[in-house]
Structure formats: structure tokens, C-alpha cells
Amino acid sequence: MLPILAPIAFTLSLAVIEDSAAQDRYAAERAQMAREIAGMAAMTAAETGRPAFAASVMAAMAKVPRHRFVLPAWERDAYQNRPLPIGEGQTISQPYIVALMTDLIDPKPGHTVLEIGTGSGYQAAVLAELVAAVYTIEIVAPLGRRAAETLRALGYRNLQTRVGDGYNGWPEKAPFDAIIVTAAAPFVPQPLVEQLKPGGKLVIPVGDRLDVQQLMVIEKAADGSIKSRRTIPVRFVPLTREAPAK
């Protein structure tokens, strides 16, 4: 992940953030987290092309209970704008990165989205707030099962989870309006590009574990041609091809 910037005072004109204050004991912390995300969006606009994230994306970030997706020992830190360990050598992404990747795919209510790397399930939950259907794949079986249980307990019914190798995508559910990959690959997997609809977007960190990774946006034009652009440097765990021993 990117180095965490100091908290920034930033006023959001999102009524849903204020309205959520009475919903649960973490509502105020989620609202503060959203303000910090908005501040970082403004600071990184030159690189990302996004001076402000969509109101719908920010509303989802202010709504999804991140504390339900972290380990109990880290619950009190759940709304800090930084990655946290979730076990099995993996992390839950920094909220700003989740918001950025979500915003970069321009999610719409009728979209179908594929996520590679379920992890804790947090990114999938944010997507499920915004689109019609989410399909998410996790190669680490214990994480995949735990995420599925959490998402089910929170009442998300518009998503499906799978334990397996995400490199080849989810062909039987393709094509997708957008694909998000939450692990770094040395190159963009061709099967994922092929499973994008014309007009679709793929957001993926590209680079080796020891190198600076770049968060890439891949767009498929109506004629099937591809264009890509870099946004910001990031640090993700590597995209693995084979399931580890259980």
C-alpha cells in the first residue's frame, strides 16, 4: 500500500455520512475515515485523474462495516486509513485504495463485476453496495470461507464467492462490466482482459513483489482494442497461481 498520509480535515457534502451517525458505535469513525479518503483523493488527483470520488462510492465506504472484516484483535483499528493483517499472511487493503479502485471502474447499478482476491471480503462488500452482481475468487481457502461467512451474515445476496485460482477469471459468468484484482501480477492476465465487456475496465496492480507496483487501469474499447494507463504506485501481495497446502 502507499505510505499513509496524516489525517486531513476535509468536509464532505454526503448526507448519508451524517445520517449514519446513529446507526452503530462505529458510524462516527466511518465518517472520519471517509473524510480522510476524500482528502487523499484531492491530494493524488494529478496521478489518478480523480480529484473527488463519486458520491455513491463514498456512501458505500461510509456504510460498509469494516470492523466486521478484520480479526477481533484489530477491531478497534478498523477505521484507520491503513491496511491491517487478516491472517494467512494477507491484509485488508487501505480504505483509500479500496475507494480508489472502486471509483476507477466507474461502477453502475446494473453492472456485473468480478473481483480476483476476495481476502477479507471488504472490497466485495463495497462493490455489492454499488452494482447488480459481484463474483469474487480467493485462492487461500481459509480466507475464502471466512469471507463468504461474513458476507452472508451481513446479508449480501447479490454476490457469489469461490475458492480457487483467479488467474483464469470466472468464464461461465463472463463477460463483466469491470474487473478488480487485489493482488499484484507481473503482467496483466490475458483471460481477464478477454472476459471484459466492450467498454469495460480492469483495475490491477502490476509489478513484482520487490519492485514498485503500479496500479493500472485497462480499458476495452467497443471495437475490442485495449488501452492502459498508470495511476499511483502501490504495494500488494502477489497474485498466486496455485492454492497453498491446507
Here the CATH number for the domain that contains residue 127 is: 3.40.50.150
56 catalytic, yes or no? no
- Predicted structure pTM score: 0.88
Percent of the chain with pLDDT over 90: 83
pLDDT score at 25: 87
Burial classification of residue 214, based on how many CB atoms lie within 10 Å of its CB (0-12 exposed, 13-18 middle, 19 or more buried): middle
For residue 165, being part of any structural domain is answered with yes
pLDDT score at 238: 85
For residue 243, being part of any structural domain is answered with no
For residue 246, being part of any structural domain is answered with no
CB 228 within 8 A of CB 218: yes
For residue 187, being part of any structural domain is answered with yes
The catalytic residue among 20, 56, 93, 225 is: 93
Residues of the chain below pLDDT 50: 1-22, 243-246
For residue 94, being part of any structural domain is answered with yes
CB 200 within 8 A of CB 176: yes
35-59 pLDDT tens trace: 999 999 999 999 999 999 999 999 9
pLDDT score at 155: 97
Q: Where are the beta strands (DSSP E) in 88-185?
A: 90-92, 112-116, 133-138, 159-163, 176-181
For residue 43, being part of any structural domain is answered with yes
Q: At what angle do helices 95-104 and 27-43 cross, to 10 degrees?
A: 60
3-state DSSP assignment of residue 220:
strand
For residue 66, being part of any structural domain is answered with yes
Burial classification of residue 110, based on how many CB atoms lie within 10 Å of its CB (0-12 exposed, 13-18 middle, 19 or more buried): exposed
Task: Report DSSP state, residue 238.
Answer: B
pLDDT score at 210: 67
For residue 179, being part of any structural domain is answered with yes
Domain of residue 172 covers: 15-234
pLDDT score at 237: 87
* Total count of domains within the chain: 1
